[in-house]
Amino acid sequence: MKDIFTGKVVWITGASSGIGEALVKAFVRGGSRVIASSNDSAGLARVAGECSGLQGSVIAVLFDLSDTSGIDVLAADVVHREGRIDMLLNIGGISQRAMLKETPLWLDRKIMEINYFGTIALTKAVLPHMISAGGGHIAATSSISGRFGFPYRSAYSASKQALHGFFETLLLEHRNDNIRVSVIIPGRVQTAISLHALTAAGKEHGRMDEGQKGGVTTERAAEQIIRGLSRNRREILVGSTELLMLWIRKYLPPLFFRIAGKIKPM
Ligand SMILES: NC(=O)c1ccc[n+]([C@@H]2O[C@H](COP(=O)([O-])OP(=O)(O)OC[C@H]3O[C@@H](n4cnc5c(N)ncnc54)[C@H](OP(=O)(O)O)[C@@H]3O)[C@@H](O)[C@H]2O)c1
């Protein structure tokens, strides 16, 4: 961990599991003051417990990304307690495993609420505090399926693609306020994302996909993300050979559609 993050106040969503959890531990190890958020109090307490004795500190702030009604008050409260927010890492999100013709509209909306509206609501709540403090760094988590459509992930892919538009605009509008913006683009990371992915009935998929099993570890993902943040990258690619799909989609689209079109339902 770069010592540029020592003593910094870093707010991380999705902190109770997977990539977010690994980031919390890496930042606390590096001496940051971490605000760890998710909608799972037991998970946050476990992560905080596992950070005890490390150089930095962690406090848990519970909130549901699908209910952003009190988000401005929450952000103001965090700033009041911590003094400032140097970095906001929007990591929390949920995936999907359902054909689009079977996905009811309420489920499209639910995935959009969590992945897109929850993320931008927290960002909008934190932004004025960062601007008045002289700047900060905000990251959002997309996916390689935020760069192309992908079978069984219509709402997921759409929610992630929407983040690119929002966060690129944020970067352009607030460059002069010293607001740095990064979009994290993971390929495959070994996490519980496919277990919690929503089926057409809105239930958890409950299965670990082969792709997830073969992904990079969460620790490796955290290293890649932290390196990208420390270099102020606009886009941070996370993963391994599966990231080639981004290149194939861009430069060899017929090949991309041949490969992705063969993906079978799980
Ligand atoms: N793993 C991959 O291969 C991969 C690939 C591309 C993109 N990503 C993205 O990476 C991010 C992190 O995912 P992960 O792989 O680490 O999955 P994960 O292990 O399932 O973690 C997801 C995190 O998001 C939180 N979350 C989900 N719904 C929430 C809600 N309504 N309110 C508050 N928090 C909520 C979860 O907390 P709760 O327990 O409170 O639900 C959990 O902490 C996601 O945005 C995902 O789309 C992952």
Q: How far is ligand 1, taken at its centre, from the CA of residue 188, in Å?
A: 13
pTM of the model: 0.97
Which atom belonging to ligand 1 lies closest to the Cα atom of 20? 16
Q: What is the pLDDT of residues 194-238, one digit of tens each?
A: 999 999 999 999 999 888 889 999 999 999 999 999 999 999 999
* Nearest residue (CA) to ligand 1, atom 1: 189
Residues listed for the chain: 266
Which atom belonging to ligand 1 lies closest to the Cα atom of 115? 45
* Nearest residue (CA) to ligand 1, atom 16: 18
- What are the catalytic residues? 156
Domain for residue 266, yes or no?
no
Domain for residue 222, yes or no?
yes
* Nearest residue (CA) to ligand 1, atom 45: 93
pLDDT at 160 over 60: yes
Q: What is the CATH number of the domain that holds 108?
A: 3.40.50.720
Give residues (CB < 6 A) around ligand 1.
14-20, 38-40, 43, 64-66, 91-95, 114, 141, 143, 186, 188-189, 191-193, 196, 212, 215
Domain for residue 265, yes or no?
no
3, 76, 174, 248 from 177: Cα distances, Å: 24, 19, 5, 36
Q: What is the pLDDT of residues 60-86, one digit of tens each?
A: 999 999 999 999 999 999 999 999 999
Which range of residues forms the domain containing residue 204? 3-260
Domain for residue 131, yes or no?
yes
Q: What is the mean pLDDT of the chain?
A: 96
Task: Identify which of 216, 207, 221 has the alpha carbon closest to the alpha carbon of residue 241.
Answer: 216
Q: How far is ligand 1, taken at its centre, from the CA of residue 191, in Å?
A: 8
Torsion of CA 49, 94, 198, 121, to 10 degrees: 110
- Arithmetic mean of pLDDT, 159-164: 98
Of the two residues 145 and 210, the one the predictor is more confident about is 145
pLDDT of residue 263: 86
Q: How far is ligand 1, taken at its centre, from the CA of residue 194, in Å?
A: 10
* Nearest residue (CA) to ligand 1, atom 47: 93
Please give the tally of structural domains in the chain.
1
Q: How far is ligand 1, taken at its centre, from the CA of residue 4, in Å?
A: 26
